[in-house]
Amino acid sequence: MGQTEYIIFVVLATLILLVFIGGIIIFILQYHKRKLAYEKEKAVINEQHIQELLTTKLEIQTQTMQDVGREIHDNVGQRLTLASIYANKIAFDNKFPEIQPQVTEISKIINESLTDLRSLSRNLTNVNTDIAELKELLDAECKRVNDLNMCTVICNFNTTDFKISNTNKNFLLRIVQEFMQNSLKHSQCKNIRLDFNYTEEGLTGKVTDDGTGFDLSDTMRKKKEGIGLLNMKKRAELIGAKFSLSSIINEGTTLRIFIPQSKINIS
């Protein structure tokens, strides 16, 4: 083999080797690209599956609450109404003056229980959640708390011009309700404030009270988290929201929640 043939052989071998190496590199890149696409598609499918399970669970929960609410209204409510009528009649007739104060007190307790029961029934059978805007639902909840005359609740939205899925709307409502119930029960607060801001990044919610507050780090360390706090965190997690709770003793408690734009209207 002459020098020319040797050079040609080396050049051809080098070209073949480069083509072979290039082919391997292209194959690896394509494989990696397909793998990333597969993983991304798998993640999307998994997220859709989780959302479908969440929606189904929420629908079952809503239907169950409505059934319970109707049962309360149709059965327990009717019995209490009948008991109230009897008690009022006994009090009105005044046939037993020696127990008149007790009968009057019993009638009062039954009527108060009936009022609470009707309110509970209305809340459980509320079918307007799916069609009402988030601000309407929160305004109604604020009014309900304000009517108790235990504290003052204010709700602010920078805009209502955005679409939010029924699932997210329902979960946000439950989170806010849980926070306010805890504030009313434990914080001795005088004011609760709700602030919601919608931007191109997403929806930010901030709920604060001016109550007694509590040592959150001590609560976490001793694993004494209440079921209410766990439920709020779980609901936020299920809708892909960022959730945080902070509290300062004698200053109050603050809940922050953020739903990114990509998650707001996912049902």
What CATH number is attached to the domain comprising 222?
A: 3.30.565.10
Asked, for residue 210, whether it belongs to a domain, the answer is yes
Asked, for residue 236, whether it belongs to a domain, the answer is yes
Rounded average pLDDT over 101-108? 78
Asked, for residue 42, whether it belongs to a domain, the answer is no
Rounded average pLDDT over 215-230? 64
Rounded average pLDDT over 7-33? 83
The residues facing 244 across adjacent strands are: 256
Is the pTM higher than 0.85? The answer reads no
Tens digits of residue pLDDT in 41-52: 888 787 777 766
Range of the domain at 167: 133-267
Q: Tell me how many degrees the CA angle 92-94-100 measures, rounded to the nearest 5.
A: 100
E strand map for 62-132 = none
Asked, for residue 49, whether it belongs to a domain, the answer is no
Among candidates 261, 113, 114, which has minimal Cα distance to 198? 261
Asked, for residue 181, whether it belongs to a domain, the answer is yes
Tens digits of residue pLDDT in 154-176: 999 998 888 888 878 888 988 99
Asked, for residue 147, whether it belongs to a domain, the answer is yes
Tokens encoding 213:
């507050």
Contact 87, 109 (CB under 8 A): no
Question: Using 50, 70 and 90 to split pLDDT, how confident is the model at 73?
Answer: low
Is the model more confident about 207 or about 177?
207
Specify the number of domains making up the chain: 1
If one counts every other C-beta atom within 10 angstroms of the C-beta of residue 127, the result is: 9
Asked, for residue 90, whether it belongs to a domain, the answer is no
Burial profile 191-201: b = 16 or more Cβ within 10 angstroms, e = fewer: ebbbebebeee
Question: Using 50, 70 and 90 to split pLDDT, how confident is the model at 229?
Answer: confident
Asked, for residue 110, whether it belongs to a domain, the answer is no
The residues facing 243 across adjacent strands are: 257
